[in-house]
Amino acid sequence: MTIFMFAGGLMGAAGVGLSAYGAHAGGGTVATAAQFLLFHAPLFVALGLAGHPSRTRTAGGGLLGLGLALFCGDLLLRHFAGTRLFPMAAPAGGISMMLGWLVVAVSAFGTRSR
C-alpha cells in the first residue's frame, strides 16, 4: 500500500502547485483539477496507512486513481494544450471516481484483521 501513500503525496504536491497557478494565472479548469487532487490526496494516504491491503480497498483506490488521472488529465490538457485527452474522458473519470468511493465504502465490510 506504499504506492497509495506515494500517490497521495504526489497528488497533494500537484494540488498545491496547481492551486497556486490557478490563483495567479487564472484558469477555472486548473483550479478544479487542483481541488480534486487536494480532496483525494488524504484518502490515498489513509489507504496506504490502513494496514494489510484488501483486494476491495486496492480496487477502490485503483478506480479512484484512474478516475483522477482521466478527469484531471483531461481538464489540464484542455487548459495547457487546448485539446482533450479523448472524448468523454472527464465524465468517464468522474464515474470512475464515484465507483471508487463506493468500493472503498464497501471495503469497510470486508474481512477484519485479528
pLDDT tens-digit readout, 27-63: 789 999 999 999 999 999 999 998 777 899 999 999 9
Residue 86 dihedral angles phi and psi, to the nearest 5°: -170, 160
Residue 8, pLDDT above cutoff 80? yes
Identify whether the C-beta of residue 76 lies closer than 8 Å to the C-beta of residue 29. yes
Q: What is the pTM of this model?
A: 0.88
Cell numbers given for 70: 482521466
Residue 25, pLDDT above cutoff 90? no
How much is the mean pLDDT over the chain? 92
Residue 1, pLDDT above cutoff 80? no
| Among 34, 35, 103, residue whose Cα is nearest residue 64 | 103
What's the length of the chain?
114
Confidence of residue 103 (pLDDT cuts 50, 70, 90): very high
Q: What is the mean pLDDT of residues 78-103?
A: 96
